[in-house]
Amino acid sequence: MQQLRGNLHLLKKLNQTRILDFIRKQGPVSKADIAEGIQLTFMAVSKLINELNEIGILRVQGVGKSSGGRKPILYDLNPDALYVIAIDLSSEDIKLELVNFHTELIAQRHIPAPPDKEPASYIKIIAESVRQMVADAKIDDTKLIGIGVSAPGPINTHSGEVLFPPNLPKWEIVPLQHLLQEALNIPVKVEKNANLSALGEKWFGVGSDVDNIIYVLLGDGIGGGIIIDGVLYKGNQFGAGEIGHVTIDHNGPRCNCGNYGCLEAMASSIAVVKRIQKELLLNGGKSHSYPANEQVNITAVMKALSHQDELTVRVIEEASYLLGIGLIGIINSFNPQKVIIGGNLPQAYPKMVEIAASVAKTRVIPVFRDKLNIVPAALGERSAIAGAAALILEEIFTLHLT
Amino acid sequence: MQQLRGNLHLLKKLNQTRILDFIRKQGPVSKADIAEGIQLTFMAVSKLINELNEIGILRVQGVGKSSGGRKPILYDLNPDALYVIAIDLSSEDIKLELVNFHTELIAQRHIPAPPDKEPASYIKIIAESVRQMVADAKIDDTKLIGIGVSAPGPINTHSGEVLFPPNLPKWEIVPLQHLLQEALNIPVKVEKNANLSALGEKWFGVGSDVDNIIYVLLGDGIGGGIIIDGVLYKGNQFGAGEIGHVTIDHNGPRCNCGNYGCLEAMASSIAVVKRIQKELLLNGGKSHSYPANEQVNITAVMKALSHQDELTVRVIEEASYLLGIGLIGIINSFNPQKVIIGGNLPQAYPKMVEIAASVAKTRVIPVFRDKLNIVPAALGERSAIAGAAALILEEIFTLHLT
DNA sequence: AGATATAATTCAGACTATAATCTAATTTAG
DNA sequence: CTAAATTAGATTATAGTCTGAATTATATCT
């Protein structure tokens, strides 16, 4: 392949991606619509469309209504033109999805994580499952353009290495991209789950109408993904988005990261669990929702929450308040169009987002108040895997000049 | 003029700007150097260079050393090709600079702000001074390509309006860009001072070697400018960078913004002054450095600081600590390559940056620690006006595809 | 002095977007 | 029902940009 230069190839590629992205967003459209929509001459569009149609990337999707002239021929992405595999792996399980060019789900698998949690075992299981899934779906495997992988961070996106993920102690430096690429012979891209959740919501969820997004992933820890001008912002060492580690009380409790009073140490689901444990101890361990002989963990908390256990609700609402406090600084610094909040806790208890939003709304810089938009994630647990698919599809629909 | 489209003009413009930017950064270079440097064919470069040379944008700057072949002809930006005016206006004064294409200072003026502080008076004074300055410098005024203006925020960069700046109560909605453009008939761009300080340090100061920068302006308030991938990030409502309003103590003192425990309420120079006032009262107002009959203001504090007054030093060092705390969250969220700290207080007391840096360094996520880079601003009070010049020069040296 | 290396020029060619003109199909006015 | 107007699309010629090979110019190295 040639190197990326400021040449005619680039120009063509630019216009191609602009056309494809326009079609993706607008559905079946005519050449004239496209020319109008992306400000290119009709002829340039016509030529490119004909080419894309001949290759099979596009297909004719009937004719549209005339508004006083020849009926327009409508073009659409050919769903069978390309396929993408998305993978979401965690310490507990592995999720796989096969997605077509229309971003429709063709097949999916859920597999428990290998008991030994060794990287090699993960790779083996993934490779097998992918091969099976592709075979079962009877896909022409030359049409598989890539695999997007969501993994627990930190990740060096450039080298495709996962670096000492806290939840997978046996993983040290794992060249995940390289290993999967070798095993399956398909291009692989790896990105951390919080970032891909953000990307997923941008492509398929509540972020589709905006370009500057902060995604907050409130799980065991609190992570985040930042999208600026429609593009993931990764930061200097691929570490951007660690919004769990903003200080909201510099005299607060110690956090795993070494700092004191981090948002994560006070409002993550682990912090909530700890808090409940502590209060139970103070109360002498008496509670209907938390039998003395059972462990207090996130599952138990979720269960108690479903019964609206008073203690649980109170602790979570306190966490919601603190989340709101943490968001203030982030909103004032970034001035995003939308803040999207996902993760197990807010999903189980939607009021969490409401509370955080109302706290943030009363305390954020007045000018930002009116247009402040704090919303729950739309895709739930699928955000990350949807983002993994988007990570690959992005290559076709957007051109990054760098 | 034609509309901007993904066409050949765009391609040419792209390569032109890449070439000019390369020359700006690398100094006198040969065509071969450029071709190598920006990954374009020698021929494409040769043609563009010849063109730019003929128009007078470039000039031949002698010949270089041969490394075993024909001596290269070295090209350089022609300093006399273009001129830019930069303006920095505040409630106290107006600074003007005339800068050539080499970003060398040709002329400058300092004028006190008009006593009535009315927008119209500002415009009148500025217009007159600019005309004078240009006339005195004997510049061909067709070569003046634009005026960059640094003003107190908030500013709608798009419309060029300054919106209710706190320090200029008589200014409500002032269409500064429009007014100056009318008065002087030269393209004008307006941007808030913190953002331009960031841009100034990126172009001419300590930020020149990096692309992801947080600039902290610690003055009466605490503002900031964010540069991502070399480009100013403005946020949704042009409000990004209000890093003075991150919460570092959610039970802290009330801030002007309505929130509690903002960094600005605890570490800005106003906060420092207030704190000193308070402590003096508690001590019965006795102090060598703060005579009872004089007002305690920032000037007095600076003076006391120069005598290393104990109370003053202590309060400022506390503020430095809090600044460090505030930076933690920002660094963990953005993972910038460099944090640049400017403003009157850190400039007067460089140890402030050291203290903040060391606090942040011990508390930031361990992975970020090694490459953490917190440095004082290099341009001092000139950051903003330098940025104002860069704001205009940017149009020539970078191409924004949007 | 001759071989080799580097820089720049010349000229022909490939590719992309544009512009003007034409064909086809359909609606709308009368 | 017919003709004019409208819209979509095709054809052809053209201009502009980058590319590539061959050539010229100039230095260094042996």
Asked if residue A212 belongs to a domain, the reply is: yes
Give the domain-ending residue among A31, A54, A77: A77
Provide the pLDDT confidence category of residue A214 given band limits of 50, 70 and 90.
very high
Identify the pLDDT of residue B283: 80
Q: How many domains does chain A have?
A: 3
Q: Do A247 and B18 touch (CB under 8 A)?
A: no
Provide the pLDDT confidence category of residue A2 given band limits of 50, 70 and 90.
very low
Query: Whose CA is nearest the C1' atom of nucleotide C24?
Result: A70
Q: Is the pLDDT of residue A3 over 60?
A: no
CA dihedral A353, A354, A357, A363 (to 10 degrees): -130
Q: Do A188 and A272 belong to one domain?
A: no
Q: Do B337 and B243 belong to one domain?
A: yes
Residues of chain B where predicted confidence (pLDDT) is lower than 50: 1-4
pLDDT 10s digits, B124-174: 999 999 999 999 999 998 999 999 999 998 999 999 999 999 889 999 999
Identify the pLDDT of residue B289: 84
pLDDT 10s digits, B326-381: 999 999 999 999 999 999 999 999 999 999 999 999 999 998 999 999 999 999 99
Q: Do A222 and A189 belong to one domain?
A: no
Provide the pLDDT confidence category of residue A1 given band limits of 50, 70 and 90.
very low
Identify the pLDDT of residue A285: 67
Q: Do B339 and B393 belong to one domain?
A: no
CATH number for the domain harbouring residue A16: 1.10.10.10
Provide the pLDDT confidence category of residue A5 given band limits of 50, 70 and 90.
low
Provide the pLDDT confidence category of residue A6 given band limits of 50, 70 and 90.
low
Q: Do B242 and A332 touch (CB under 8 A)?
A: yes
Which helix (DSSP H) or strand (DSSP E) does residue B75 occupy?
strand B73-77
Q: Out of B7, B212, B237, name the one closest to residue A235 (CB).
A: B212
Asked if residue B306 belongs to a domain, the reply is: yes
* Separation in Å: C25 C1' and A29 CA: 18
Distance from CA of B140 to the nearest CA of A (A): 34
* B267 chain-A contacts, CB cut-off 8 A: none
List the beta strands (DSSP E) in B253-360: 338-342
Q: Is the pLDDT of residue A173 over 90?
A: yes
Mean per-residue pLDDT of chain A: 92
Report the candidate in B185, B82, B190 with the shortest Cα–Cα distance to residue B127: B185
* Separation in Å: C29 C1' and A259 CA: 78
Identify the pLDDT of residue A110: 96
Distance in angstroms (rounded) separating the CA atoms of residues B314 and B308: 10
Nucleotide nearest to B12 (CA to C1'): D17
Q: Do B39 and B107 belong to one domain?
A: no
Q: Do B68 and B140 belong to one domain?
A: no
Q: Is the pLDDT of residue A195 over 70?
A: yes
Amino acid (1-letter code) at residue A354: E
CB A201 within 8 A of CB A340: yes
Q: Do B188 and B333 belong to one domain?
A: no
The number of angstroms, rounded, from the C-alpha of B170 to the middle of its chain's C-alpha atoms is 25
Answer for A33: CB within 7 Å of strand D: yes
Q: Out of A245, A247, A333, name the one closest to residue B248 (CB).
A: A247
Q: Do B363 and A242 touch (CB under 8 A)?
A: no
What's the rounded mean pLDDT across residues A138-147? 95
Q: Is the pLDDT of residue A294 over 90?
A: no
Q: On chain D, which bases lie within 7 A of the protein's CB atoms?
A: 5-12, 15-21, 25-29
Identify the pLDDT of residue B2: 30
Give the domain-ending residue among A56, A77, A98: A77
* B239 chain-A contacts, CB cut-off 8 A: 332, 335, 365, 367-368
Identify the pLDDT of residue A206: 97
CB B227 within 8 A of CB B199: yes
Residue % of chain A over a pLDDT of 90 = 79
Q: Do B22 and B128 belong to one domain?
A: no
Provide the pLDDT confidence category of residue A314 given band limits of 50, 70 and 90.
very high
Interface mutation target, options A156, A334, A368, A373, chain B, most CBs of B under 10 Å: A334
Q: Do B276 and B182 belong to one domain?
A: no
Interface mutation target, options B12, B237, B248, B365, chain A, most CBs of A under 10 Å: B365
pLDDT 10s digits, A32-85: 999 988 888 899 999 999 999 988 999 998 888 887 778 889 999 999 999 999
Give the domain-ending residue among A77, A109, A136: A77
Interface mutation target, options B42, B334, B372, chain A, most CBs of A under 10 Å: B334
Answer for A131: CB within 7 Å of strand D: no
Please state the three-class secondary structure of chain A as a single string: CCCCCCCHHHHHHHHHHHHHHHHHHHCCECHHHHHHHHCCCHHHHHHHHHHHHHHCCEEEEEECCCCCCCCCEEEEECCCCCEEEEEEECCCEEEEEEEECCCCEEEEEEEECCCCCCHHHHHHHHHHHHHHHHHHHCCCHHHEEEEEEEECCCEECCCCEEECCCCCCCCCEECHHHHHHHHHCCCEEEEEHHHHHHHHHHHHCCCCCCCCEEEEEECCCEEEEEEECCEECCCCCCCCCCHHHCECECCCCECCCCCECEHHHHHCHHHHHHHHHHHHHHCCCCCCCCCCCCCCCHHHHHHHHHCCCHHHHHHHHHHHHHHHHHHHHHHHHHCCCEEEEECHHHHHCCHHHHHHHHHHHHHCCHHHHCCCCEEECCCHHHHHHHHHHHHHHHHHHCCCCC
Q: Do A69 and A127 belong to one domain?
A: no
Boundaries of domain holding B163: 83-199+384-397
